[in-house]
Amino acid sequence: MDTPPSVVVSVALSALAMTAIVAVRYLATSGLFAGLTRKVRPGHYKGLEAQMRAEIAWSLVSCLIYGVPAGVVAWGWQQRGWTKIYTDPAAYPLWWLPLSLLAYLFLHDTWFYWTHRWMHRPAVFRRIHAIHHASRPPTAWAAMNFHPVEAALVGLLIPALVFVIPIHVGMLGLVLLVMTVMGVTNHMGWEMFPAWLVHARAGRWLISASHHHRHHEQYRCNYGLYFRFWDRLCGTDKGLSAP
Protein backbone atom coordinates (compact mmCIF):
# COMPACT_ATOMS: atom_id res chain seq x y z
CA MET A 1 0.00 0.00 0.00
CA ASP A 2 1.38 3.39 -1.03
CA THR A 3 2.18 5.85 1.70
CA PRO A 4 -0.25 8.81 1.50
CA PRO A 5 1.33 12.19 0.83
CA SER A 6 1.93 14.45 3.80
CA VAL A 7 -0.61 17.08 4.65
CA VAL A 8 1.77 19.83 3.53
CA VAL A 9 2.26 18.25 0.11
CA SER A 10 -1.47 17.59 -0.23
CA VAL A 11 -2.37 21.20 0.58
CA ALA A 12 0.37 22.51 -1.72
CA LEU A 13 -0.90 20.42 -4.62
CA SER A 14 -4.44 21.64 -4.00
CA ALA A 15 -3.22 25.25 -3.96
CA LEU A 16 -1.26 24.70 -7.18
CA ALA A 17 -4.28 23.17 -8.88
CA MET A 18 -6.57 26.00 -7.82
CA THR A 19 -4.02 28.59 -8.94
CA ALA A 20 -3.97 26.97 -12.37
CA ILE A 21 -7.79 26.93 -12.49
CA VAL A 22 -8.01 30.61 -11.51
CA ALA A 23 -5.38 31.54 -14.10
CA VAL A 24 -7.13 29.60 -16.88
CA ARG A 25 -10.48 31.15 -15.87
CA TYR A 26 -8.96 34.63 -16.01
CA LEU A 27 -7.20 34.10 -19.34
CA ALA A 28 -10.26 32.49 -20.92
CA THR A 29 -12.81 35.05 -19.69
CA SER A 30 -10.72 38.16 -20.21
CA GLY A 31 -9.48 36.83 -23.54
CA LEU A 32 -13.06 36.17 -24.65
CA PHE A 33 -14.22 39.70 -23.88
CA ALA A 34 -11.03 41.29 -25.22
CA GLY A 35 -11.67 39.41 -28.46
CA LEU A 36 -15.28 40.61 -28.45
CA THR A 37 -14.02 44.17 -28.05
CA ARG A 38 -11.72 43.82 -31.05
CA LYS A 39 -14.61 42.49 -33.11
CA VAL A 40 -17.29 44.96 -32.05
CA ARG A 41 -15.05 48.00 -31.59
CA PRO A 42 -12.02 47.61 -33.85
CA GLY A 43 -9.16 49.79 -32.72
CA HIS A 44 -10.68 50.43 -29.28
CA TYR A 45 -7.55 49.08 -27.57
CA LYS A 46 -5.13 50.50 -30.13
CA GLY A 47 -2.00 51.82 -28.48
CA LEU A 48 -2.72 49.97 -25.22
CA GLU A 49 -0.58 46.91 -25.93
CA ALA A 50 2.05 47.70 -23.24
CA GLN A 51 -0.67 48.48 -20.73
CA MET A 52 -2.45 45.18 -21.44
CA ARG A 53 0.79 43.22 -21.03
CA ALA A 54 1.22 44.83 -17.60
CA GLU A 55 -2.40 44.06 -16.73
CA ILE A 56 -1.89 40.39 -17.62
CA ALA A 57 1.36 40.16 -15.65
CA TRP A 58 -0.11 41.64 -12.47
CA SER A 59 -3.27 39.57 -12.91
CA LEU A 60 -1.31 36.33 -13.06
CA VAL A 61 0.33 37.27 -9.74
CA SER A 62 -3.18 37.84 -8.39
CA CYS A 63 -4.16 34.37 -9.62
CA LEU A 64 -1.54 32.89 -7.31
CA ILE A 65 -2.78 34.96 -4.38
CA TYR A 66 -6.38 33.90 -5.12
CA GLY A 67 -5.40 30.29 -5.77
CA VAL A 68 -3.59 29.55 -2.51
CA PRO A 69 -6.53 30.20 -0.13
CA ALA A 70 -8.90 28.58 -2.63
CA GLY A 71 -6.68 25.51 -2.58
CA VAL A 72 -6.71 25.42 1.22
CA VAL A 73 -10.52 25.69 1.16
CA ALA A 74 -10.82 22.90 -1.43
CA TRP A 75 -8.52 20.66 0.58
CA GLY A 76 -10.30 21.41 3.86
CA TRP A 77 -13.68 20.69 2.27
CA GLN A 78 -12.69 17.44 0.55
CA GLN A 79 -10.28 16.00 3.10
CA ARG A 80 -11.55 17.27 6.44
CA GLY A 81 -15.08 18.59 5.96
CA TRP A 82 -14.07 21.82 7.65
CA THR A 83 -16.13 24.19 5.51
CA LYS A 84 -19.85 24.92 5.27
CA ILE A 85 -19.93 23.94 1.59
CA TYR A 86 -22.53 21.21 0.97
CA THR A 87 -23.55 19.09 -2.03
CA ASP A 88 -27.00 17.80 -1.05
CA PRO A 89 -29.64 20.40 -2.08
CA ALA A 90 -31.95 18.96 0.59
CA ALA A 91 -29.48 19.68 3.38
CA TYR A 92 -31.05 23.13 3.77
CA PRO A 93 -34.42 24.55 2.64
CA LEU A 94 -34.53 25.24 -1.09
CA TRP A 95 -35.13 28.94 -0.46
CA TRP A 96 -31.64 29.06 1.06
CA LEU A 97 -30.06 28.43 -2.36
CA PRO A 98 -30.84 31.88 -3.86
CA LEU A 99 -30.62 33.57 -0.47
CA SER A 100 -27.11 32.24 0.13
CA LEU A 101 -26.10 33.48 -3.32
CA LEU A 102 -27.38 36.98 -2.51
CA ALA A 103 -25.79 36.89 0.95
CA TYR A 104 -22.37 36.07 -0.47
CA LEU A 105 -22.63 38.71 -3.18
CA PHE A 106 -23.85 41.38 -0.76
CA LEU A 107 -21.16 40.64 1.83
CA HIS A 108 -18.49 40.56 -0.86
CA ASP A 109 -19.78 43.84 -2.27
CA THR A 110 -19.76 45.39 1.22
CA TRP A 111 -16.21 44.24 1.90
CA PHE A 112 -15.09 45.48 -1.52
CA TYR A 113 -16.76 48.89 -1.15
CA TRP A 114 -15.16 49.74 2.19
CA THR A 115 -11.69 48.33 1.44
CA HIS A 116 -11.84 50.07 -1.95
CA ARG A 117 -12.61 53.41 -0.30
CA TRP A 118 -9.75 52.81 2.16
CA MET A 119 -7.38 52.16 -0.75
CA HIS A 120 -8.24 55.57 -2.15
CA ARG A 121 -6.67 57.27 0.86
CA PRO A 122 -3.68 59.10 -0.68
CA ALA A 123 -0.90 57.17 1.08
CA VAL A 124 -2.52 53.78 0.48
CA PHE A 125 -3.40 54.68 -3.10
CA ARG A 126 0.20 55.55 -3.95
CA ARG A 127 1.60 52.34 -2.45
CA ILE A 128 -1.09 49.85 -3.50
CA HIS A 129 -4.09 50.89 -5.57
CA ALA A 130 -2.23 53.01 -8.13
CA ILE A 131 -1.31 49.84 -10.01
CA HIS A 132 -4.97 49.18 -10.80
CA HIS A 133 -5.58 52.78 -11.84
CA ALA A 134 -2.59 52.71 -14.17
CA SER A 135 -5.09 51.15 -16.61
CA ARG A 136 -6.18 54.24 -18.53
CA PRO A 137 -8.63 53.36 -19.89
CA PRO A 138 -9.23 49.94 -18.30
CA THR A 139 -9.42 46.95 -20.62
CA ALA A 140 -10.92 43.48 -20.36
CA TRP A 141 -7.55 42.29 -18.98
CA ALA A 142 -7.69 44.70 -16.01
CA ALA A 143 -10.21 42.95 -13.75
CA MET A 144 -7.48 41.29 -11.63
CA ASN A 145 -4.76 43.87 -12.25
CA PHE A 146 -3.90 44.36 -8.58
CA HIS A 147 -0.97 44.96 -6.27
CA PRO A 148 -0.48 41.75 -4.21
CA VAL A 149 -1.82 43.45 -1.07
CA GLU A 150 -4.98 44.49 -2.91
CA ALA A 151 -5.34 41.01 -4.41
CA ALA A 152 -5.17 39.52 -0.91
CA LEU A 153 -7.78 41.95 0.41
CA VAL A 154 -10.12 41.29 -2.50
CA GLY A 155 -9.52 37.56 -2.70
CA LEU A 156 -9.66 36.38 0.91
CA LEU A 157 -13.25 37.19 1.85
CA ILE A 158 -15.10 34.43 -0.02
CA PRO A 159 -12.67 31.71 1.16
CA ALA A 160 -13.32 32.97 4.70
CA LEU A 161 -17.11 33.01 4.25
CA VAL A 162 -17.29 29.31 3.37
CA PHE A 163 -16.17 28.50 6.91
CA VAL A 164 -19.07 30.52 8.35
CA ILE A 165 -22.07 30.63 5.99
CA PRO A 166 -23.46 27.40 4.45
CA ILE A 167 -23.57 27.38 0.66
CA HIS A 168 -24.30 24.72 -1.94
CA VAL A 169 -21.33 23.98 -4.16
CA GLY A 170 -23.39 24.98 -7.21
CA MET A 171 -24.24 28.36 -5.69
CA LEU A 172 -20.59 28.89 -4.81
CA GLY A 173 -19.72 28.22 -8.43
CA LEU A 174 -22.32 30.81 -9.44
CA VAL A 175 -20.81 33.35 -7.03
CA LEU A 176 -17.42 32.84 -8.70
CA LEU A 177 -18.98 33.10 -12.15
CA VAL A 178 -20.73 36.39 -11.31
CA MET A 179 -17.53 37.74 -9.75
CA THR A 180 -15.49 36.84 -12.84
CA VAL A 181 -17.92 38.05 -15.51
CA MET A 182 -18.81 41.31 -13.77
CA GLY A 183 -15.17 42.02 -12.95
CA VAL A 184 -14.22 41.65 -16.61
CA THR A 185 -17.21 43.34 -18.25
CA ASN A 186 -17.03 46.31 -15.87
CA HIS A 187 -13.45 46.97 -17.03
CA MET A 188 -13.94 46.56 -20.78
CA GLY A 189 -13.83 50.29 -21.35
CA TRP A 190 -17.20 50.27 -23.13
CA GLU A 191 -20.77 49.33 -22.26
CA MET A 192 -21.75 46.01 -23.81
CA PHE A 193 -25.19 45.87 -22.20
CA PRO A 194 -28.10 47.65 -23.93
CA ALA A 195 -29.21 51.06 -22.67
CA TRP A 196 -32.68 49.77 -21.83
CA LEU A 197 -31.11 47.40 -19.30
CA VAL A 198 -28.49 49.77 -17.88
CA HIS A 199 -31.08 52.52 -17.35
CA ALA A 200 -33.88 50.23 -16.15
CA ARG A 201 -35.01 50.30 -12.52
CA ALA A 202 -32.93 47.20 -11.70
CA GLY A 203 -30.02 48.58 -13.71
CA ARG A 204 -29.91 51.65 -11.50
CA TRP A 205 -28.87 49.38 -8.61
CA LEU A 206 -26.30 47.28 -10.46
CA ILE A 207 -22.69 48.05 -11.37
CA SER A 208 -21.98 48.19 -15.10
CA ALA A 209 -19.08 49.35 -17.27
CA SER A 210 -20.78 52.75 -17.56
CA HIS A 211 -20.82 53.05 -13.77
CA HIS A 212 -17.33 51.73 -13.07
CA HIS A 213 -15.74 53.69 -15.93
CA ARG A 214 -16.66 56.89 -14.09
CA HIS A 215 -14.69 55.59 -11.11
CA HIS A 216 -11.63 55.26 -13.33
CA GLU A 217 -12.23 58.81 -14.61
CA GLN A 218 -12.91 60.59 -11.31
CA TYR A 219 -11.42 58.19 -8.69
CA ARG A 220 -13.48 59.47 -5.71
CA CYS A 221 -16.81 57.87 -6.57
CA ASN A 222 -18.55 54.64 -7.67
CA TYR A 223 -16.62 52.24 -5.44
CA GLY A 224 -19.00 49.25 -5.59
CA LEU A 225 -18.38 45.81 -7.09
CA TYR A 226 -21.83 44.36 -7.86
CA PHE A 227 -24.40 46.76 -6.43
CA ARG A 228 -24.78 50.53 -6.08
CA PHE A 229 -26.33 50.19 -2.60
CA TRP A 230 -23.35 51.47 -0.59
CA ASP A 231 -22.52 54.17 -3.13
CA ARG A 232 -26.08 55.48 -2.96
CA LEU A 233 -26.26 55.22 0.84
CA CYS A 234 -22.92 56.97 1.36
CA GLY A 235 -23.31 59.63 -1.32
CA THR A 236 -20.50 58.35 -3.54
CA ASP A 237 -22.68 57.36 -6.50
CA LYS A 238 -21.94 59.78 -9.33
CA GLY A 239 -24.01 58.06 -12.01
CA LEU A 240 -22.87 56.71 -15.34
CA SER A 241 -20.11 57.59 -17.73
CA ALA A 242 -20.07 57.09 -21.48
CA PRO A 243 -17.13 54.73 -22.10
Neighbours of 131 (CB within 10 A): 18
pLDDT of residue 59: 97
Asked if the structure places residue 139 within a domain, the reply is yes
Asked if the structure places residue 1 within a domain, the reply is no
pLDDT of residue 153: 92
Asked if the structure places residue 215 within a domain, the reply is no
pLDDT of residue 3: 38
Asked if the structure places residue 238 within a domain, the reply is no
Domain of 47? 7-193
- Report which of 39, 220, 42, 17 is spatially closest to residue 117, judged by C-alpha positions: 220
Asked if the structure places residue 200 within a domain, the reply is no
Domain tally, the chain: 1
Output the tens digit of pLDDT for each of the chain's 243 residues.
Answer: 343 667 788 888 998 999 999 999 999 999 999 999 999 999 999 999 999 999 999 999 999 999 999 999 988 887 778 899 999 999 999 999 999 999 999 999 999 999 999 999 999 999 999 999 998 889 999 999 999 999 999 889 999 999 999 999 999 999 999 999 999 999 988 888 888 888 888 788 999 999 999 999 999 999 999 999 999 999 999 988 765
Asked if the structure places residue 217 within a domain, the reply is no
CB 224 within 8 A of CB 183: no
Asked if the structure places residue 55 within a domain, the reply is yes
